[in-house]
Structure 1
């Protein structure tokens, strides 16, 4: 599941790179990317709506957790003597967040994506996904 969570983040990262490139903006670091997308930086013409930004940042935190086994909140590592493992609940969160990011991208750039079939015990078929089909 750790690689599935990480893949969700990198899918979102590539979508955000596509979003920024439509403005002729290219960034090399995650910090630069975050500053360009941050809706609380009023001068950014490339900023995201708050829900898409929170989803993107949450995916970044989950990805760091999955890669480094650390608890991350708001981009900051929370010190602990125990590793922060990835469980199905984290994968479910990542899929929900990615659905939000894809939704923003499709709306902002008039794009379409086929539904992606996923299986996760912490997701229910009754949840309202636009880009994922829960199996």
Structure 2
């Protein structure tokens, strides 16, 4: 199981990979969104290890332990970061499985099939990942270098952790 530092390093490596893929293959939005999610997943795992000294293996376990509405969780996030993580998870599933999931009250999932990932989804992924990186940086005193990305949908946008070319 990974340590806090190992998860941070893995996330940073994913961000470097994202920048390289983005600068050399400026489409493949599905892969870029997926890399954004896995960068966030390692940040969440680092957060969880720091708070609980435990590693969680499944996506559902991670989601439960960071859930701000879970009264018993010692690794819960603020609502904005938690929602960003969930949105990134959904965008990643859209990218990997060509489906769109909309979670409704009562745990009901509405699944829409055959959903292609576009640059507008990459924009959303960057927005949510920026929130997550900022949370981890602030709450765990970790400095991240800015990641360079290029996408027409990001033009004119300002992010704390991304430089838009």
Say yes or no: TM over 0.5: yes
The answer to whether the 8 Å contact 2:33/2:121 transfers is yes
Question: 103, 117, 124: which is aligned to 1:86?
Answer: 117
The answer to whether the 8 Å contact 2:88/2:125 transfers is yes
- RMSD of aligned C-alpha atoms? 1.3
Question: 81, 85, 88: which is aligned to 1:59?
Answer: 88
1:8 aligns with 2:60: no
Q: Hey, which bits of structure 1, 4+ residues long, moved more than 4 A?
A: none
Secondary structure, counterpart of 2:34 in structure 1? helix
Secondary structure, counterpart of 2:153 in structure 1? coil
Higher share of residues assigned helix: 2
Q: Distance in 1 between matches of 2:155 and 2:57?
A: 37
TM-score normalized by the length of structure 1: 0.93
**C-alpha distance 2-77 of structure 1, shift in aligned 2 (>3 A):** farther
How much has 1:77 moved relative to structure 2? 4.9
The number of equivalent residue pairs is 132
